[in-house]
Amino acid sequence: MNTKRIARIIGSGSYLPEKVLTNKELESMVETSDEWIVTRTGIKERRVAGENEYTSTMGIKAAKEAIENCNIDPEKLDLVIVATCTPDYLFPSTGALIQKEIGAVNAAAFDLQAACSGYIFALSIAKSYIESGFYKNILIVASEKISSIVDYEDRNTCVLFGDGASASVVSFEGKGLEIRDVSLGTDGNQSDLLILPGGGSRIPSSEQSLKDKQHFLKMEGREVFKHAVRLMEVAANECLSSAGIEGRDLAWLVPHQANIRIISAIAKRFALKEENVYKTVHKYGNTSASGVAIALDELVRTKEVAKGENVLLVAFGAGLTWGASLLTQN
Ligand code: ACO
């Protein structure tokens, strides 16, 4: 008898704030145009959290939907991992805030910071804990209120980002997407390319740090772009070859939703047709860690992923970090 434990995503859910920020509205905030944003990024609009919405509250909504989706008792959750780079507070963790509100009284909880790659990093932990027998049921929440760290006077960045959350229940039992493989990487040499300088222990918040706008994210867009395409290809190749499959064996590619040109470049490198690449970037922009998870949740809700079909997730982000995960429906 095969007693190998298999980690599967058995439930998923998402939450997008109601408030829509269109390119037209951004035209009145910074010197930009709908035409520039659409041709350079593919983004038409993005969601922005309302006044009383935070990374935790959006994450709670996504988590409750995921829990309901697979009908699991929250008391059976052993762990809550929250992938975010915009936690409510530096501490306590957003994981602790979410754990309380969803009634996961038996779960440990922590935050994981790998920027836009965070959801894939979290999948690797869930897979390892479940397959080793350490835990049985794990909730991953990827939630970001990126609008809280965006400078809406900086046209280089403010047009790109949006807010949103997604959640997945990963379990040792039940049907769903098996986490076949995960491949991760980091290059700290490129840490300056995408950074939130202020508010940490190096540049604590002060009158001067606020004046210098150190509490807003800074990005070398063109450089990040180049690395993004290269690193997502590396991650995807590593993941596929360790699972012994090729690009043509994929039913779906779900890439990080940062820029339509990056997505198209990746699809081209794996000779995938546009219709096999799932995209949400036009309507939500770059929602960092939650981007790939929101897209996956939408994919499984709106399209049929048949038994045996393969889905490849691939992402990159600040760090620089990158990761890919191969999922197979079974
Ligand atoms: N509207 C109009 N013009 C603009 C805007 C704007 N919103 N933003 C920049 N420009 C200008 C620039 O100032 C520049 O002008 P210049 O040539 O006079 O200097 C010109 O447009 C072209 O700038 P580029 O940087 O060459 O534009 P590019 O084609 O590279 O597109 C972009 C910029 C969209 C930022 C792209 O580089 C990109 O998507 N990079 C990747 C970003 C990313 O994916 N980050 C994800 C990580 S997120 C995370 O981990 C949290």
The predicted pLDDT at position 2 comes to 59
If you count them, how many residues does the chain have? 330
Is pLDDT of 99 > 70?
A: yes
284-294 residue pLDDT tens: 999 999 999 99
Residue spans of beta strands (DSSP E) within the chain: 8-15, 20-22, 45-47, 79-83, 108-112, 137-144, 164-171, 177-186, 194-195, 218-219, 252-255, 310-317, 321-329
Cα(221) to centroid(ligand 1), Å: 5
Centre of ligand 1 to C-alpha 224, Å, is 10
pLDDT value, residue 40: 97
Q: Tell me the pLDDT band of 4, cut-offs 50, 70 and 90.
A: confident
- Percent of the chain scored above 90 by pLDDT? 96
Nearest CA to ligand 1 atom 7: 155
Nearest CA to ligand 1 atom 48: 317
Tokens of 237: 């190749």
How many Cβ atoms are within 10 Å of 156's Cβ, its own excluded? 14
What is the position in ligand 1's atom list of the atom closest to the CA of 26?
7
* Amino acid in the structure at residue 8: R
Does the pLDDT at position 329 exceed 90?
yes
Atom number, ligand 1, closest to the C-alpha of residue 85: 51
Q: How far is the CA of 294 from the centre of ligand 1 (A)?
A: 24
Counting from 1 in the atom list of ligand 1, the atom nearest the Cα of 155 is 7
How buried is 209 (Cβ within 10 angstroms: 0-12 exposed, 13-18 middle, 19+ buried)?
middle
303: which residues sit within 8 A by CB, 6+ positions away?
Answer: 252, 278
Please choose, from the candidates 158, 89, 166, 175, the residue with its C-alpha nearest in 3D space to the C-alpha of residue 122: 166
Nearest CA to ligand 1 atom 12: 156
Q: Whose Cα sits closest to atom 30 in ligand 1?
A: 222
Burial of 273 (0-12, 13-18, 19+ CB in 10 A): exposed
Mean pLDDT of 87-101: 98
Q: pLDDT band at 84, cuts 50/70/90?
A: very high
Residue pair 258/318 in contact (Cβ under 8 Å)? The answer is no
Q: What is the mean pLDDT of residues 67-79?
A: 98
d(CA 159, CA 37): 7
Mean pLDDT of all residues in the chain? 96
pLDDT of 119 higher than 70: yes
Q: Which two tokens stand for residue 185?
A: 């990487």
Catalytic positions:
116, 256, 286
Q: How far is the CA of 308 from the centre of ligand 1 (A)?
A: 39
pLDDT of 18 strictly over 80: yes
pLDDT digit string, tens, across residues 134-175: 999 999 999 999 999 999 999 999 999 999 999 999 999 999
pTM: 0.96
197 burial (CB, 10 Å; 0-12 / 13-18 / 19+) is middle
1: pLDDT strictly greater than 60: no
pLDDT at 304: 87
Q: How far is the CA of 222 from the centre of ligand 1 (A)?
A: 6
- Report d(CA 138, CA 77) in Å as an integer: 6
Task: Say if residue 222's pLDDT is above 70.
Answer: yes
Q: From the CA of 224, give the closest atom in ligand 1.
A: 41
Q: Which residues have a Cβ under 8 Å from the Cβ of 31 and sit 6 or more positions away?
A: 155
CB-based contact 59:167 (threshold 8 Å):
yes
**Ligand 1 pocket, Cβ-based, cut-off 6 angstroms:** 32, 36-37, 40-41, 115-116, 155-156, 159, 194, 221-222, 224-225, 228, 258-259, 286, 288, 317-318
